Amino acid sequence: MLDLLSILSIAIIITSLGVFSLRNYQFSIYTYAVQTFILVSIFFTLAFRFDAEQLSIWGMIAFFTKVVFIPMLLLKLVKKLDVKSEDEPVSGFFISPIIAMGFSLAISMAIYPIYLEFSLIKEAIPLMASITVFMMGIFGFILRNSAIKQILAYCMFENGIHLSLALMAYNSPEIAELGILTDAIFAVVIMSILAQRFFKYFGSLDVSKANELKG
Amino acid sequence: MNIELLLFLILIVPLIISGLIWFLKKDLKILTSIHLGGAIIEAILGLAAVASVVNGKTYFIFDQMLFLDAVGGVFVTLIAITGVLVNIYSIKYMQWQVESAHITEKDVKLFFSLSHLFIFTMTFSVLANNIVLMWVAIEATTLSSVFMVAINKGKKSTESAWKYIVICSIGLAFALYATVLLYSAGFSVINDSHSTMLWTTLMSHAKEINSDALKLIFVFALIGFGTKAGFAPTHTWLPDVHSEGPAPASAMLSGILLKCALLGLVRYYAIVGNSTLGFEFVQSVMIVSGLLTVFVAALFLIKQHDVKRMFAYHSIAHMGVIAVGLGFGGFLGIFAALFHTLAHSFTKALAFCVTGNIQKIYGTRNMEKMGGMIKIAPITAILFGIAVCSLVGVPGFAIFVSEFYIIQEAISSGGYIPVALFIIGLIIIFIADFSHYNLATFGQSKTEVQCGEVERKANAPLIALAALIIIFGIFTVDSWVSLLNSAVKIIIGV
């Protein structure tokens, strides 16, 4: 019988597939908001079950920044640019989610036993979820061509890291969590500004069209 | 001055200067004076702080979350000296850009403000004893510099800025994972949440931390900090960003930023090296990564005709050289790697600032179209020559010293195959560079020359950098050697 923590962890994996795969920007952003809401719920569940008071404060901060502020910012960006659906990803709309989820799960299966050894909270399914969400974010960057989807991918791997932090290092000083969160918000704001600039110069959000520089 | 106060000041002054420039009106005269005055004060404070740690002492502030040890002292030296000289050069450079209508006065204000914010984030990353704060600061260096790179608007500039933030953010995500894992693995031994975050505590408990976890942690740290430092194969952001950014931004990025990211890796190198694994594991990983980086850069260098892209690939190559130094290890290898950070910082700052002059003179970055620089702009040509000579490791220039030490360490430790490969890499770089230098400096110019030699004021900081390259190449600077000796002892845990 699965407990609440495992159900929430599985839900966070499923939402990562949604954020990654949904073509419509608005749906994708809403799914991200749902994912972050689940993350916040996990924070509160952990706080309650493991007597980790810090996590309720993290949960509250994450609610305002990641469930409310970042989705609002991205929705505003989508509205401003008047874009609806993303451009064709690398290897197509059907195959890319399969590749991303397949590899993410495989990597998380391989790594989670090491995490389990040191984690403050030794729960296998949430640890696997943290690695899967992180890897889905990384694959989002690699496989999706849309600048907005790449920002969402950044937000997603950020969620994975926050879940890892909550499980493995919830007793770390608050300044650590605050620092990481501040960086993330600035990163999303800066990436949104650059996405607007990108749209202005390239007439599209498809970053694969930017190939004037050869690396 | 009280050292604790000094540490606080070297951190906070750049932030104040940045804020001041940000909030003042866009009167270029006033902004320039504050920018210049601020840069000089930052350098004086930085060097004064370094003077206190030359003999190996370590000072802490803010409940040990920030500290300055000799290792950090090496990097504060780069921030202080390279930072001030590049910031001085940026005044003239920005003036040219405004005159040629490439940017507006508003952009100059933004650039000056960001350049001090950038100095703040880099100093923060060097002073952080708390490993999470160090990560936060290194990520913040990307965020604070992205609009310095993209100050010129347009397709290429936007593309390079996007690449920069995306690749570095992905890379650093792995570094954050390394940080979380290290905390977690360390906590099971140290059992105190505050001190488990501290590099100094982790170092003293390194032997008790699980060695399997440390292997994974080091690989993650290498991917993370290595991406930001420009190691192959995740170096691809670097040539684009360095070639598209304004010359002073490239100089600052290449001269200082890459080394700050490297310091993050050095801190992990020290912890893992001092664990039960010993230095063998980190050294073998670093040597493979370093040689790969040197070769990738050397091969790309051959076909570069864009002067800024050429120097960008040099940055990659020399980060590879530093990695190889750490890879051969031993006292001399690590000493050489740290020496190389300074040698490369001065050389690369000079090189990129010279490209600012070159672009002003020729209006192009393509070396095939240049020519006759020695007649048109002799001082710029000589400064260009000094930068190239140092970059390829000609004796008498700073980079030769560290490369010589690395080879010496490699031979004495019996690493004949890696050293042979290393030397081959350096030879390729040598040939590629001199052929390019000849193209630009001698013969006939194939493009319409925009102006002759640039103003003395613009060249003054470059001459200072050139002088430093030669001084560190010829003389033994005692305080610098003491600082390096103290730093190496900290890293190898003596």
pTM for this model (two decimals): 0.93
Across the interface, which of B156, B183, B216 has its CB nearest the CB of A114?
A: B216
A75-84 burial: b if 16+ Cβ within 10 Å, else e: eebbeebebe
Hey, is the C-beta of A187 within 8 angstroms of any chain B C-beta? yes
Would residue A201 count as lying in a domain? yes
Q: Which residues contact B476 (CB under 8 A, 6 or more apart)?
A: none
pLDDT tens-place string over residues A148-207 = 999 999 999 899 999 998 998 888 887 888 888 888 899 999 999 999 999 998 888 888
* Min Cα–Cα distance to chain A from B31, Å: 25
Would residue A87 count as lying in a domain? no
Nearest chain A residue to B297, by CA: A215
Residue B192: how many CB atoms within 10 A of its CB?
A: 12
Handedness of CA B220, B223, B225, B226 (dihedral sign): positive
Across the interface, which of A118, A168, A176 has its CB nearest the CB of B197?
A: A176
Q: Determine the Cα–Cα distance for residues B101 and B439; give it in Å rounded to an integer.
A: 29
**How many domains, chain A?**
1
Across the interface, which of A119, A179, A186 has its CB nearest the CB of B132?
A: A179
Would residue A129 count as lying in a domain? yes
Q: In chain A, which residues have their Cβ closer than 8 Å to the Cβ of B301? A: none
Q: Determine the Cα–Cα distance for residues B367 and B178; give it in Å rounded to an integer.
A: 42
| B80's tokens | 């202080």
Q: Looking at residue A215, what is its pLDDT?
A: 54
Confidence band (pLDDT; 50, 70, 90) for A2? low
Q: Which of A18, A11, A44 is nearest to A32 (CA)?
A: A18
pLDDT tens-place string over residues A14-46 = 999 999 988 899 999 999 999 999 999 999 999
* Min Cα–Cα distance to chain B from A118, Å: 5
B11-29 burial: b if 16+ Cβ within 10 Å, else e: bebbbebbebbeeeeeebe
Q: In chain B, which residues have their Cβ closer than 8 Å to the Cβ of A194? A: 146, 150, 158, 161-162, 165
Q: B173 vs A183: CB contact, 8 Å cut-off?
A: no
Q: In chain B, which residues have their Cβ closer than 8 Å to the Cβ of A134? A: 173, 177
Kindly give the residue spans of alpha helices, DSSP state H, lying in B367-477: 373-376, 378-391, 398-412, 416-441, 456-474
When scoring A172, A174, A182 by the number of chain B Cβ atoms within 10 A, the one with the most, hence best to mutate, is A172
Q: Looking at residue A213, what is its pLDDT?
A: 64
Is the pLDDT at A120 greater than 90? The verdict is no
Q: Are A199 and A205 in contact (CB under 8 A)?
A: yes
Regions in chain B scoring below 50 on pLDDT: none
Q: Determine the Cα–Cα distance for residues B149 and B342; give it in Å rounded to an integer.
A: 23
Q: In chain A, which residues have their Cβ closer than 8 Å to the Cβ of B170? A: 138, 141, 157
Would residue A11 count as lying in a domain? yes
What is the ipTM score, two decimals?
0.92
When scoring A58, A164, A190, A209 by the number of chain B Cβ atoms within 10 A, the one with the most, hence best to mutate, is A190
| B131's tokens | 């490993």
When scoring B166, B208, B240, B315 by the number of chain A Cβ atoms within 10 A, the one with the most, hence best to mutate, is B166
Q: A190 vs B147: CB contact, 8 Å cut-off?
A: yes
Q: Are B125 and B260 in contact (CB under 8 A)?
A: yes
Q: Looking at residue B21, what is its pLDDT?
A: 93
pLDDT tens-place string over residues B21-31 = 999 887 888 99
Surface-to-core class of residue B188, CB atoms within 10 Å of its CB (0-12 exposed, 13-18 middle, 19+ buried): middle
Q: Looking at residue B404, what is its pLDDT?
A: 93
Q: Looking at residue B37, what is its pLDDT?
A: 96
Q: Which of A102, A151, A125, A93 is nearest to B170 (CA)?
A: A151
Residue B296: how many CB atoms within 10 A of its CB?
A: 20
**Structural domain for A50, as ranges:** 4-82+93-207
Would residue A184 count as lying in a domain? yes
Q: Are B110 and B147 in contact (CB under 8 A)?
A: yes
Q: Which residues contact A165 (CB under 8 A, 6 or more apart)?
A: A172, A176, A177, A180, B180
Q: Determine the Cα–Cα distance for residues B437 and B140; give it in Å rounded to an integer.
A: 36
Q: In chain A, which residues have their Cβ closer than 8 Å to the Cβ of B188? A: 118
Q: Which of B300, B301, B345, B284 is nearest to B319 (CA)?
A: B345
Is the pLDDT at A214 greater than 70? The verdict is no
Residue B337: how many CB atoms within 10 A of its CB?
A: 30
When scoring A112, A161, A162, A194 by the number of chain B Cβ atoms within 10 A, the one with the most, hence best to mutate, is A194
Handedness of CA A125, A126, A129, A135 (dihedral sign): negative
